Amino acid sequence: MSSNHIQRINEDIRLCLSEKLRQVKDPRVQQGDLVSVVRTDTTGDLRYCKVYLSVLGDCNEKEFRRGLKSCSGWLRRELGSSLSLRYTPELIFELDHSIEHGAHINDLISQLDIPAGEGEEADE
């Protein structure tokens, strides 16, 4: 299968799962301020799809993983009904801390005490 085809499938799965995750009623999955699907990696035979999720805010990772595992069958069924694929891939969830890490770095940068006069001299 061409890589463009897999990329389109990955994007479709990412969009569909981001929509369906909002509909999950399990409180273990709905913890934290924001749950987002960062990216998806589907194998070439469409059997497995690794889904990278990012949770912004306080989250018990162990309980979050349990909640995802319990609703993975429903998510897979919803994914199969939304997308017309030869196989509906088995979903493997991984937590991605990149958004959390980026927010932390942004906070550190905003806390820096840089005088306003230093930047003006470099521009002249």
Q: What is the residue-averaged pLDDT of the chain?
A: 86
Query: How would you label 72-95 residue by residue, b for 16+ Cβ within 10 Å and e otherwise?
Result: eeebbebbeebeeeeebbebebee
In a domain, 56, yes or no: yes
Q: Has residue 115 been placed in a domain? A: no
**Residue 118 in domain:** no
Q: Supply the range of the domain harboring residue 46.
A: 3-97
Number of domains forming the structure of the chain: 1
20 falls within a domain:
yes
Alpha-helical segments (H) within 22-115: 61-82, 98-110
- The CATH number assigned to the domain holding 59 equals 3.30.300.20
Per-residue model confidence as pLDDT tens digits over 4-47? 989 999 999 999 999 999 888 888 888 777 888 999 999 989 89
